[in-house]
Homo-oligomer: A and B are copies of this chain.
Amino acid sequence: MEAGETMSIGDSGKVDLEFVNVTHSIVQAINPVVHTPEGAVVYGLDKRMDHTPVIGDPIDMERFREIGREGDGVLCYIEDCTNANKKGRTPSETVAREHLRDALYSMADYDGGIVATTFSSHIARVKSLIEFARDIDREPILLGRSMETYSGTAKRIGIDFPSDVEMVGYRQSIEQTFERIMNEGKENFLPVVTGHQGEPRATLTRMGRGETPYQLEDGDKVVFSARVIPEPTNEGQRYQAEKLLRMQGARIYDDIHVSGHLCQEGHYEMLDALQPEHIIPAHQDMSGFSGYVELASNRGYTLGRDLHVTSNGNVIELV
């Protein structure tokens, strides 16, 4: 089943499942909508409101607005609140792409090593990295198990993704590839590796510890096209990884990224489009919900009446 399609579910013949196209840090993201005789139930899975994604179609706001108006409207909207405490609008992937282009082009004259890392699952970002690597006359190579898995799949299922890029997943092959890079000259390559969160066993962290044949030298550039996931363990690991890389002389370019989750103005527009009767904030703890509850309250919803804050495993009965 693909974005835009609908199928009947259950035996009654009265309930339909629809997939609405949305935009996120992965490709082919959808939000499921269950059409029931009492109204639609929209499950707002992870998304960004992107009108100019790098891969695929823009978020289908027109369809969301239709669902909000047609029949009995929206009975219930369950929404991902990851960024609900952040002001403003999550920028389009196009903005991250321009940011990345600016960073990589600024290194065009550098004749040493450049290494980049990002979320392996972020196919649009990996695509941009591949393209800009070529623009500055470097051969991109994807290195690391999850890099190979995600990008390989993207290629296979026909995503608009460079088909001719080298991908290397196994540890031994990675070492051989690094040896080849060192032999042919670091200045001709741009390895795209795993390790954006400083994971101790990821390829980039191993490079920082000097455990791979790739030798970082003073002035070499490391590009983190990702944000540190804000949790102390994570921050500690990433800090360590950067420290190791710096000790080898690497220069760090970080935070070249946009979030895949709606900030407050995106949530505002979703409520405006769907006009749901009931709202259930999800995917966060109480503190993470707070910005969303405030937003919904300002739009006339009331906690306990049509705005339902709960924990996982509880049943909310809507009449």
Contact = CB atoms under 8 A, between A and B. Distances in A.
Interface of A: 49, 51-52, 85, 87-89, 91-92, 94-95, 98-99, 102-103, 105-106, 219, 232-240, 251-256, 265, 268, 272, 285-291, 293-294, 297, 302-305, 308-311, 314, 316
B88 A252 contact: yes
Given A95-B99, A303-B311, A304-B316, 5 more contacts: A89-B102, A95-B95, A232-B238, A253-B265, A303-B309
Nearest to A49: B106
Nearest to A92: B102
A103 B297 CA distance: 25
A293 B310 CA distance: 10
A265 B251 contact: yes
Contacts of A237: 236
Contact of A232 (B51, B219, B236, B255): B236
Contact of A293 (B102, B234, B286, B303): B286
A255 B302 contact: no
Given A85-B287, A310-B303, A310-B304, A102 B106 contact: no
A114 to B, nearest CB: 12
Contacts of A308: 304
Given A102-B94, A253-B88, A302 B314 contact: yes
Contacts of A293: 286
A305 B313 CA distance: 13
Contacts of A288: 290
A52 B303 contact: no
Contacts of A85: 287
Contact of A91 (B103, B233, B297, B304): B103
A251 B266 CA distance: 11
8 contacts: A87-B254, A94-B98, A95-B102, A98-B98, A233-B236, A286-B294, A287-B290, A304-B316
B254 A88 contact: yes
| Residue among A94, A236, A294 with the highest chain B CB neighbour number at 10 A | A236
Complex A-B, nearest 7 residue pairs according to Cβ-Cβ distance, in ascending order: A236-B236, A287-B290, A286-B290, A232-B239, A286-B293, A98-B98, A92-B102
A283 to B, nearest CB: 15
Contacts of A94: 98, 102
Contacts of A290: 285-290
Nearest to A302: B314
Contact of A311 (B51, B285, B297, B316): B297
Contacts of A236: 232-237, 239
A208 to B, nearest CB: 14
B304 A294 contact: no
A276 to B, nearest CB: 17
| Residue among A49, A87, A288, A297 with the highest chain B CB neighbour number at 10 A | A87
